[in-house]
Every structure is written in structure tokens, then in C-alpha cells.
Structure 1
Amino acid sequence: MTLETLGNALLILVAIGWIGVRQMTWRPVSIGRMWRMPAIFGIVGLVMIVQTTKPTALTALDLGVLVVELVISLGIGAWMGAIAHFRPLPEPIDIGKDRREVATYESRTGAWGLVLWVLVIVVRVGIDVLAGMAGSHLAASTGVILLMLAANRAARTAVFASRLGRHAAVTV
């Protein structure tokens, strides 16, 4: 087992635990804050891919696997956003350090969100194994894992923003 494989396994375990807890608990919703994690993970993932992969070493298989994984991550993230439950907070709360971010709703996806999150991980590992057996070197990289997390969270946030926008329009 290589150091990168151990690092990936640790990253996966930490991500499952951290996001799993967040799926099960009610949390104030701030769309602006929700965009930060996918942006950071996406940028770090892309930088890691660029630093560790030579453009000439990329194959059609690598790019195909990347596209398939992105589509799956985006789809499951959108599904997570669609099944989320919202409830209004009794009073708006300030959640930003500068007091400019105010949450009026809280949300959670519950057990189904946790199931979907585990599905993301299982699909990711399955594709990684199959792609590795087929000769893809990019699929196993930490950068791709971060990019998939970013895609999942970005799709979820986009659906949240859309749903909350429609809800606000109805309640006004």
C-alpha cells in the first residue's frame, strides 16, 4: 500500500464522518458559506491534479473516467439537495464573523442524505478500482477525490439555493 493510498483512505474516512454528521443534524443555511467548501476543494483538487499529472500522460481513459465521476457526483449532489428538509428558524441568526450573513432557515437531509453520501463513496471507490485495473492513473489521485467532493457539494448547494429562492418567493 502506498502513502497516497493511505492518504486517500484517511481522506475518505474523515469526509464520511464529517459530512455524515452534517447530514443528520439541523444546520443553519447560508448559501454564501455553502459555496466556500466546494470552491476550496475544487481549487485544491485541480492544483493537485496539475502538479501531479503531466498533460501528455493523460489518456482518453483518464478523461473519460473523470467525466463519468463528475456526472455521478453532480447528480447525487443534486439529489441530496432535492431531498433536504427545511424549517424556518424561530429568529434569524447571525452566522458570519462580520455579522453580514444571516440564516433564516435550517436544513438537514437525514438518513437518506447519509445513504446517498455513502453511495458517492462506494461509487467513487468502485470506479477507482475498475479504472485502475483498466490502466487509469488519474482516477486514484487525491486531486480527483477532492474534485468529486467539490462537484457533489456544489450541485447540492445549487439545488438548495434554487429551493430556498422559490420558498422565499412563496412565503413573501
Structure 2
Amino acid sequence: MTLQMIANGLLILLLIVWIGVRQMTWRPVVVSRMWRSPLILGIVGCALIAQQVKPASITPLDIAVLVGELLFSLGVGAWMGAIAHFRRLPEPVAAGRDGRDLAVYESRTGAWGMSLWLVVVAVRIVVDVLAAQAGSHLAAATGVILLVFAANRVARTAVFAARLERHAAVGRMMVE
């Protein structure tokens, strides 16, 4: 077992716990803030890939594995956004550390969201092992883990935003 494998395992465990807690608890929704974590994960993931993988060593298998993982993660992220439950807060609350953003709704995906999250992680681990056995060097890169999780969060946030936009539009029509 290499140091990178141990680091990847710890990173995955940390992400499971962090996102798992967020799936199971009601949290105020501020869509503009929801874009931050996938953006940070994506940037860090790309930077790590640039450091860890030489462009000349990337094979068609690497590209196929990465694209497949990203598409799968995007699909599951959209599914997570679609199954999320929303409830209107009695009154808007300040969200975030600075308290400048107002949340009108709170949401969670609950046990189904957690289950889907564990499926993403399990698929990621299986693909990593199988791709490495097939000769892919990119699949085992820590940056790819971060990109896959960023893709999941991007799709989830996009679906959240669309659902909240529709919900707000229906609410405005009912008031009129």
C-alpha cells in the first residue's frame, strides 16, 4: 500500500463524512454559496492532476475512465438534486459566516441522498482499482477524486437552483 493510496483513502473518508452530514441534516439553502465547494474541489483537483500526471503519460484509457466517471457523477448529482426535500423557513435567516446571505428555504436529501453518495464513492473505488489494473495512471490520481466529487456537487447544485427557481415562480403566481 502506497502513501498516495492511504492519502486517497483518508480523503475519501473525509469527503464521505463531510457530505454525509450535509445530506442528512436540514441546512439553509443559498444557491450562490452552494457553488463554492464544487468550484474549490474542481480547482484543487485540476491543480493536483497537473502536479501528479505528466500530459505525455495520459492514454485514451485514462480519458475514457475520467469522462465515464465524470458523467456518472454528474448523473448521480442531478438525481440527488431531484430527490432533495425543501421546506420554507418561517422567516429568512442569515446564512454563512458573514451572515450577508439570506436563506428562505432549507433542504436535505436524507437517507436516499446518503445512499446515492455512497454509490458514487463505491463506484469511484471500483473504477480506480479496475482502471489501475488495466493500466490507467490518471484514475488513481487524487485530483481525479476531487474532480469526480466536484462534478457531483455541480450537478446537484444546478438541479437545486432550477427547482428553487420554479418553486419561487409558483409562489409568486399564487400571491398574484
TM-score, length of structure 1 as denominator length: 0.98
Is it true that 1:120 corresponds to 2:120 in the alignment? yes
**Rounded Cα–Cα distance in structure 1 between residues aligned with 2:65 and 2:140:** 10
Moved over 6 A (4+): none
Partner residue in 2 for 1:110: 110
Deviations 1:20-74 (A, max 9, x none): 1111110000101100000000000001101111111100000000000000000
Note the alpha carbon deviations across 1:98-151, whole angstroms, 9 max, x for none. Answer: 443110000000000000000000100111111011000110110000000100
Distance across 2 between alignment mates of 1:127 and 1:97: 37
Q: How do 1:19-168 and structure 2 match up within 5 A?
A: 19-168=19-168
Report the alpha carbon displacement of residue 18 of structure 1 after superposing the two structures with TM. Answer: 1.2
Gaps of 5+ in 1: none
SS at 2:161's partner residue? helix
How far 1:78 sits from its partner (Å)?
A: 0.3
Instruction: Give the percent of matched residue pairs that are identical in Structure 1 and Structure 2.
Output: 66
Residue 16 of structure 1 deviates from its aligned partner by: 0.8
Alignment check: 8 A CA contact 2:77 2:156 kept = yes
Query: How many angstroms apart in 2 are the aligned matches of 1:4 and 1:47?
Result: 16
**Distance of 1:27 and 1:165 partners within structure 2:** 18
Unaligned runs of 5+ in 2: none
SS at match of 1:70: helix
Distance in structure 2 (CA, Å) of the matches to 1:97 and 1:8: 29
> Cα RMSD (Å) of the superposition?
0.8
Instruction: Give the alignment's TM-score, normalised by structure 2.
Output: 0.96
The 3-state SS of whatever aligns with 2:140 is coil
Q: Which amino acid aligns with 1:42?
A: G
**Aligned mates of 2:8, 2:56 — CA distance in 1:** 24
- Mapped contact 2:53–2:141 kept (Cα < 8 A): no
Deviates more, 1:17-26 or 1:111-120: 17-26
